[in-house]
Amino acid sequence: MQTADIRGRWLDFFADRGHTVVPSASLVSDDPTLLFTVAGMVPFVPYLTGLVPAPYPRATSVQKCIRTNDIEEVGKTPRHGTFFQMNGNFSFGDYFKEQAIGYAWELLTTPESGGGYGFAEKDLWVTVYQDDDEAIRYWRALGLPEERIQRLGMDTNYWSTGQPGPAGPCSEIFFDRGPAYGVDGGPATDDDRYVEIWNLVFMQYLRGEGTSKHDFKILGDLPKKNIDTGMGLERVAFLKQGVENMYEIDQVRPVLDLAAGLSGRGYGADHEDDVRMRIVADHVRSSLMLMSDGVMPSNEGRGYILRRLLRRSVRAMRLLGVDDATFPVLFPASRDAMSPAYPDVATEFDRISQAAYAEEETFLRTLASGSTVLDLAVAKTRSEKKAELPGDTAFLLHDTYGFPIEITLEMAEEAGLSVNREAFDALMAKQRAMAKADAKAKKTHLADLSVYSAFRAAGETVFTGYDELQTESSILGLIVDGESVASAVAGQVAEVILAETALYAESGGQEADAGLIVGPGYELDVLDVQKPVKGLISHKVTVRTGEVGVGDPATSIVDADWRRGARQAHSGTHILHAALRQVLGPNAHQSGSYNKAGFFRLDFSWNQGLSQATRSEIEEISNNAIRDNLEVVTRELPLAEAKALGAMALFGEKYGERVRVVDIGGPWSRELCAGTHVSTSAEIGMVNLVSESSVGSANRRVEALVGLDAFNDLAAERAIVSQITANLKTPREQLPERINDLVQSLKAAEKKIAAFEARALGDRVPSLVASAERIGDVRVVTANLGTVNSADDVRALVTQTRERLGSDAAVVALAGVAGDKPVVVVATNPAAREYGVRAGVLAKAMAGVLGGGGGGKDDLAQGGGTDVAAIDAALQTVRTAAQR
């Protein structure tokens, strides 16, 4: 039974039983505490917990999921995969335990000819929570023998969020693969013989505070009991297809076979090779699915996880003996296997493959350079008879060469070494702390989501800001320090929930509106506007004057200048995106954006920098569209109809069944967007493209100003040009040539000065040679040169002096001050080295006296420090060493 058939039977079965079929949500989770959708129930959590009223009484889905917490187990067990699909059926206060158990048993045991999965009843076991006699009664009623029902404890058969809220027992269904796969005894043996294929969660209790997963009080029954069940699609697929594990099913096996073919190693011949092939098959599929949902490789967050998956794939292929790029072969195979279930994988493959191939090429170069560094570090560690690589080496590989720490750990383990993870983590923490200190702090901090449930239950917040800048409403709720309160007074910071608001909440890349909320006897400055839960808008405010209370009349007032600038910026983003695609082609797809009053940035998929001519062309097309005063039309349509019209969606954004379509010039620019926009393109004023840069191996970023901000920037440039023309007494059109002439003249002058300084340095050589003193069997030259241009000057003088000292054992150590910092250079000749004098050792010792570090080769070495006053003492260390 093919995976697509298993999926289709699931949806048909539950649709026939009154369940609303809900399409898979994105792998990028709405939950701010999660990077990814990690379980089939995640998109339904607001409904299951009662935070948001459920739009249907029962639902079913096949949800895409990503989990990487068990990434080290991928390929080693039959069932661990980073990407998987969870078939789920859900009830929100509708049916409960008996019906859920009945549905599961019916679908599993109905013959394939009758639309079921055709599992033999004798091969199925169930586990229940130890005290759930009710569930056991229902299982017995279906004819399941007592000996195949096992009671287990909270560790495995009880569910809660880990916080006060819904909780309840679970019942899991297992398939017995037979004695060839392990010992007898049922799922309680925790053996690979028994594969869990279905989990039924019965949310029936309200739990209180607790100290652990097992230690909490049950406060009573939930007012509405919910059902959350999940069946692992890949697990059922490998059982129904008669293969050994999930890596061999029809959606994954094609990539595994190609990995085997490219490596020339047969699958099944060697355990370690098999694991590597499974890693490649799993990670390529996971990466493909993540990228289809808009995730791009980067060094943080979701992008870092994706980059790790891609790089682990490359690394596994190298361990299989393949050093060349393989993604151009592997990714199309995964696309062909997954696109029947997820058509976006095929339609977006040009964008996906461009980014994936670029990432592989980059990492292959990284591996070549970083592996050399790691090999040297391994050799040094072994020569020192140590078993642990230093943490600073791991950090260097991460920070300079882009090695994820996990890959360094793997490569070190292959060499029989561990890594000083504590030191590495300390360096990473220091780097993050510095980054946070430099970065602008996030301006919003919302309360714990549970506080919003009562407000959301009253209905959705109505946003009126598309049509008006001022809306009369009332205060539905106030939150201070995470707690719902009755009032707030002057000086307090609070969150305000209104029934209606004209203030735009940050979303779709657009910053929140600036403005006020006013009412009888109070005035509130709006600091931020957010959507903490779907359908609810929260305003973070400072109470400027008076006292505000729940139930008070309230008028939201948008700062008109701010909104005008924000509308110009957001519409400007759409204009520039259309211009980019007109010049570069459809593969230049927007991958992210940010806009605020007067400014926007746009990230797009592209793997090379834009020439100045290309930038100018894009800017010209954008401003021609503004000049043509194109009409901007917004309308609400069903999602399918909007996509059929060619409306572009921003990857990573979430869209409901009805969407807002923004047309600029009809189909010239047609995108799904909930932001605020101008009425005609001329209102944007102008677009001034101020920068273009890289934000990843296959992503570029453009930044632009619009409206008055764009004009002011150009006016500032004009003032600078006017000042330069006046100073150089040169017409504007001749400035490039005039400046080039000045630059060439400056370079020629600098060359002459350098030659003069070199001669001046050379003039000092005779006196330095004459100053040589014999200490034991070695001639020693030491001198403090005072202020020098650079360490290169000191190095040149040291080597020239050494050459003039003849064949007798000689060492030259000179010091100077470059840029307020002391620098030392030491040189030795062959005879001195035979005598045991080493330049690297001396430079390191001198630098230590100066409060710094140094070293180098035996014949020439350099060091530096911070203590200029210690130069003479540092030079004395050379004379002392020569005496020995």
pTM for the whole thing?
Answer: 0.70
Angle at 80 between CA 76 and CA 82, to 5 degrees: 120
**CA 793, CA 789: separation in Å to the nearest integer?**
7
Q: What pLDDT shows up at residue 432?
A: 62
Confidence tier at 449 by pLDDT (50, 70, 90): confident
d(CA 599, CA 572): 9
Q: Which of 304, 177, 281, 190 is nearest to 236 (CA)?
A: 177
What the block records as the tokens of 510 is: 């657009």
Across residues 215-230, what is the average pLDDT? 88
pLDDT for the residue numbered 155 = 85
* CA angle centred on 151, ends 150 and 155, rounded to 5°: 120
Q: Give one word for 613, left, alpha or beta, with left for phi > 0 and alpha for psi -120 to 50.
A: alpha
Beta strands in 233-321 (DSSP E): none
Sorted by where each begins, the domain ranges of the chain are 3-248, 253-438, 449-558, 563-715, 764-883
pLDDT for position 651:
55
* pLDDT on residue 433: 66
How far the first Cα of the chain sits from its last, in Å, is 83
Q: pLDDT higher for 439 or 220?
A: 220
CATH fold of 449-558, please?
Elongation Factor Tu (Ef-tu); domain 3 (2.40.30)
Whether the pLDDT of residue 77 is over 70: the answer is yes
Confidence of residue 439 (pLDDT cuts 50, 70, 90): very low
Tens of pLDDT, residue by residue over 786-840, are 888 888 889 989 999 999 888 889 999 999 998 889 999 999 999 988 888 889 8
170 in a known ligand binding site: no
User: Mean pLDDT, the chain, as a whole number?
Assistant: 89
Q: Average of pLDDT values for 863-871?
A: 90
Q: Could you confirm whether domain 764-883 is CATH 3.10.310.40?
A: yes
Give the per-residue pLDDT at 402. 64
Residue 574 assigned to a binding site: yes
- Note the pLDDT tens digit of each residue in 324-353: 999 999 999 999 999 999 998 998 898 899
Q: Helix, strand, or coil here: 653?
A: coil
State the average pLDDT over residues 611-634. Answer: 96
DSSP assignment string, 514-572:
PEEEEETTEEEEEEEEEEEETTEEEEEEEEEEEEEETT-EEEEEE-HHHHHHHHHHHHH
Residue 49 and residue 456: Cα distance in Å, rounded?
Answer: 12
Read off the pLDDT of residues 729-764 as tens digits, 9 standing for 90 and up. 999 889 999 999 999 999 999 888 878 877 877 788
State yes or no: pLDDT of 408 exceeds 90.
no
**Hey, is 600 helix, strand or coil?**
strand
- Range with the lowest mean pLDDT among 458-462, 547-551, 628-632? 458-462
Percent of the chain surpassing pLDDT 70: 96
Give mean pLDDT, residues 135-152: 94
Q: Give tens-digit pLDDT for 464-497.
A: 999 999 999 999 999 999 889 999 999 999 999 9
Return the higher-pLDDT residue of 691 and 437: 691
Indicate whether 268 pLDDT > 50: yes
Task: Mark residue 34 as left, alpha or beta (left: phi above 0; alpha: psi -120 to 50; beta: remaining).
Answer: beta
307, β-bridge pairs: none
Residue of 219 and 280 predicted with greater confidence? 280
Q: Is 283 annotated as a binding residue?
A: no
* 3-class state of residue 815 by DSSP: strand
Contact 778, 837 (CB under 8 A): yes
Q: How confident is the model at residue 624 (pLDDT cuts 50, 70, 90)?
A: very high
Among residues of the chain, what percentage have pLDDT more than 90? 58
Q: Are 706 and 600 in contact (CB under 8 A)?
A: yes
Q: Give the residue-averaged pLDDT of 274-291.
A: 95
The pLDDT value recorded for residue 607 is 81
> Binding residue per annotation — 673?
yes
Among 791, 826, 793, 795, smallest CA distance to 811 is for 826
Average pLDDT of span 171-196: 90
pLDDT of residue 440: 36
pLDDT digits (tens, 9 = 90+) for 30-69: 777 788 988 888 889 888 888 888 999 999 999 999 988 7
The whole-number pLDDT of residue 632 equals 96
- CA quadruple 35, 37, 41, 46: dihedral, nearest 10: 50
Is the predicted pLDDT of residue 444 greater than 70, yes or no?
no
Helix crossing, 271-292 with 301-319: angle to 10°?
150
User: Closest by alpha carbon to 705, among 561, 507, 583, 565?
Assistant: 565
Q: How confident is the model at residue 434 (pLDDT cuts 50, 70, 90)?
A: low
Q: Give the span between the Cα atoms of 716 and 691, in whole angstroms.
A: 16
CATH 1.20.58.710 fits 3-248, yes or no: no
The whole-number pLDDT of residue 884 equals 61
pLDDT digits (tens, 9 = 90+) for 496-536: 999 999 999 999 889 999 999 999 999 999 999 999 888 89
What CATH number should be reported for the domain whose range is 563-715? 3.30.980.10
Whole-number pLDDT of residue 722: 93
**Distances, alpha carbon 92 to alpha carbons 200, 204, 305, 326, 799, in Å:** 14, 11, 33, 47, 83
Comparing 123 with 762, the larger pLDDT belongs to 123
Select from 452, 624, 634 the least CA-distant residue to 534.
Answer: 452
pLDDT in tens, 285-307: 999 999 998 888 887 788 889 99
Contact call for residues 289 and 342 (beta carbons, < 8 A): yes
